[in-house]
Amino acid sequence: MKNKFGRLIYYEEYVHINGINQYLFHTGTKYDNPVMLFLHGGPGFAESTLSHVFQEKWEEIFTVVHWDQRGAGKTLTRNPDKCPAIDLMLEDLFVIVQYLKKKYNKEKIIVLGHSWGTVLGSMFIKKHPEEVAYYIGVGQVISMFENERLGYEKVRELALQANDMKSLRKLESLGDYPGNNHGINFKKKSEKLRKIQGKYNLAVNWNFSTIIGLIKSPIFKLSDIYALIKMDKVNEEIIEFWSKFDIRLESIEYKVPIYYILGKNDWQTPYVIAEEYFKEINAPHKKLYLIPNAGHFTMLDQSNLFFSSLLEINNEEKN
């Protein structure tokens, strides 16, 4: 594994957590920087292999730790028969936070969640606020069904404006969307919508440069492809939970500072839903950043503007 930028902190490890070895990837420039734990999306889509594309500047102000969750990435390839459940994943997360606090001699850890990671992160900070310095939600999930309903309406509106009959027929074939499906059927249906949304840059579009970025990662292995192929099968129970998730059913009271960084072109987890919810929450401190010309992979689409937001958050929290 080549340390391209000559980082002081730059290594992979497997840590034994709740019965299995789980993968962590550490990067940073100073041991006294605050520690940020990155919770990836999916469920089951480890973003550690893409981190080199977007987080070089982050490492100047944070020690960034990527965790391939149970049922994802390199943790999945080590444990192909270990299917995750939400309570177990929250227990895993608690143990990892304790491990990082001890390893880096920190009282608290920053939690950054992306997409599905915002579900896990939001639940964790409610359950264990004493462990968390502050929380950053990127592509924040509020309600999965509301996300899909609004995302469908937006792409249909654009297809009508463009007189795009081919896309309109595909949307029509989805029937009553999102309907009453849950779990894997919900996810399969949503993936059909993603392809249409991708055409209008409303959702993640797996273009050539993103795939090349994945393959060129210093930590990429062919087995990571296996993990991507297997992730839905292994995560069926988590996908069932994720498809029904609605954060609005929980209390709006938070005991840690809350920051949202949202892409203004994100209609996969529509920013307008997160924006409305954010107005309602109570927290010791809160701030929302809306990044123009950025979609669901906000940190990839506008990496400089995203870093500017992180820098401002870091300075606010230091003061």
pLDDT tens digits for range 101-140:
999 999 999 999 999 999 999 999 999 999 999 999 999 9
Listed range (53-57, 218-222, 314-318) with the worst mean pLDDT: 218-222
Candidate from 7-16, 141-150, 186-195, 199-208 with smallest mean pLDDT: 199-208
Q: Which long-range contacts (CB under 8 A, 24 or more apart) does 219-222 make?
A: 219/1, 219/12, 219/25, 219/48, 219/49, 220/49, 221/74, 221/77
Q: Which residue has the tokens 């924006």?
A: 275
- Distance (Å, rounded) from C-alpha 275 to C-alpha 25? 31
Spatial CA neighbour of 242 closest among 89, 28, 135: 89
What is the per-residue pLDDT for 222?
A: 85
The sign of the torsion formed by the CA atoms of 131, 136, 138, 13 equals: negative
In the predicted structure, residue 91 carries a pLDDT above the cut 80: yes
Give the confidence band of 196 by pLDDT, cuts at 50, 70, 90: very high
| Average of per-residue pLDDT across 176-190 | 88
Query: How sure is the predictor about 3, in pLDDT bands with cuts at 50, 70 and 90?
Result: confident
Tell me the CB-side half-sphere exposure of residue 37, using CA atoms within 13 A.
Answer: 33
Closest CA to 54 of 222, 312, 294: 294
Average pLDDT (223-241) is: 91
CA distance linking residue 72 with residue 48, whole number of Å = 10
Q: Per-residue pLDDT averaged across 63-83, rounded?
A: 95
Residue 4 pLDDT exceeds 80: no
CATH topology of domain 9-143+220-318: Rossmann fold (3.40.50)
Q: Quickly count: other Cβ atoms within 10 Å of residue 29's Cβ.
A: 17
pLDDT at 314 over 70: yes
* pTM of the predicted protein model: 0.95
Domain locations in the chain?
A: 9-143+220-318, 147-199
> Which residues lie below 8 Å from residue 119, measured CB to CB, with a gap of 6+?
113, 141, 242, 245, 247
Stretch 37-63: mean pLDDT, rounded? 94
- Predicted local distance difference test score (pLDDT) of residue 269: 96
Q: Give the residue among 137, 147, 139 at the shortest CA–CA distance from 254.
A: 137
pLDDT at 1 over 80: no
Whether 203 has a pLDDT exceeding 90, the answer reads no
pLDDT confidence band for 77 (50 / 70 / 90):
very high
